[in-house]
Amino acid sequence: MDIAEKKVGELTAEELEQLLEKRKKEQAAERKKAKESYENNRNDFVSGLVNEALDLEQRLKDFKVKCFIGFENFREEAHNYGDIRTNSKGGFSLRNNNTGVMARLERNVKFENDERLDIAIPLIKEFLEDTVKKRSLADYKTISALMAKNKKGDFSTTSLNILISQKTNYDDKRWLRAIELIEESFVERGISYSVSFFTKGDTDKDEAICLNFAALKVELPEVKKD
């Protein structure tokens, strides 16, 4: 009689061991099969998403190149037509008069400050300590706050521009010289361009077309659990 046909009580100790060993091998094979199935599904899922992402990335790159070439070509046409100043190198917007959709080229300039800023700051601090602090503690604190560095150890461009806007508030030579130095210290370090797109909403308001994956608003379907 085959070992599988026997009842448990009829099996010898050796046969029990053989049966147990067989069951262990069957379970191991089942686990291996389940593992391979899981890993294959995982690999196919991830590879499929990444391949689609790579395709989207390339399409976006091609679209970006198309946009910039198109805008630059149209800039020349707009120059000739007189719609844009001939010396303009900045951004501009183009709108479809019929549908209201719009494409905008934006020019982004990154400024840095050279060594003249390092000369200006001590002049302002000296002026604050022996003049402004005695006259108005509030003004002293406000201007001091504008000269505070950020976490990266840099001065805020916005704060420096606020200081410049207050140039005529004082007639002290140190203050005036310091503000002049700050104005002269701004140097263009990088220029980048970006393109944005808009449709006309129900309220006739421009609504941006989102091309940022993380910022896309979508309605996710409900995930059914078994």
Confidence tier at 66 by pLDDT (50, 70, 90): very high
- Residue that terminates a domain, selected from 88, 116, 132: 88
> Which among 88, 111, 137 is the end of a domain?
88
For 175, counting Cβ atoms within 10 Å of its Cβ (0-12 exposed, 13-18 middle, 19+ buried), the class is: buried
Number of domains in the chain: 2
pLDDT of residue 222 exceeding 60, the answer is yes
The answer to whether position 1 is within a domain reads no
With tokens 């002293």, the residue in question is 140
Q: Identify whether residues 94 and 81 lie together within a single domain.
A: no
Summarised one tens digit per residue, pLDDT across range 148-164 is 888 888 888 889 999 99
Residues 110 and 55 in one domain: no
Contact 141, 133 (CB under 8 A): no
CB 104 within 8 A of CB 199: no
Average pLDDT of the residues in 136-144: 93
**pTM of the entire predicted model:** 0.59
Task: Say yes or no: 41 and 97 in one domain.
Answer: no
Task: State the amino acid at position 215 in one-letter form.
Answer: A
- Angle subtended at Cα 158 by Cα 156 and Cα 162, rounded to the nearest 5 degrees: 115
CA–CA dist 38, 32 (Å, integer): 10
Domain carrying residue 70: 14-88
Give the angle subtended at the CA of 11 by the CAs of 7 and 16, to the nearest 5°: 110
Tokens of 4: 């599988």
pLDDT over 90 (residue 115): yes
Instruction: Judge whether residue 38 has pLDDT over 80.
Output: yes
pLDDT higher than 70, residue 76: yes
Q: Residue 175: what pLDDT? A: 96
Instruction: State pLDDT tens for residues 192-209.
Output: 888 999 999 888 899 999
The last residue of a domain, from among 69, 88, 107: 88
Same domain for 100 and 41: no
104 DSSP β-pair partners: 93, 196
What's the CA gap between 127 and 134, in Å, rounded?
Answer: 11
Task: Kindly compute the dihedral angle of the four CA atoms of residues 54, 57, 59, 64, in this order, to the nearest 10 degrees.
Answer: -160
Q: How far apart are CA 89 and CA 157, in angstroms?
A: 22
Give every CB contact of residue 116 below 8 A, 6+ residues apart in sequence.
Answer: 181, 182, 184, 185
SS3 state at 70: helix
Q: 126 and 201 share a domain?
A: yes
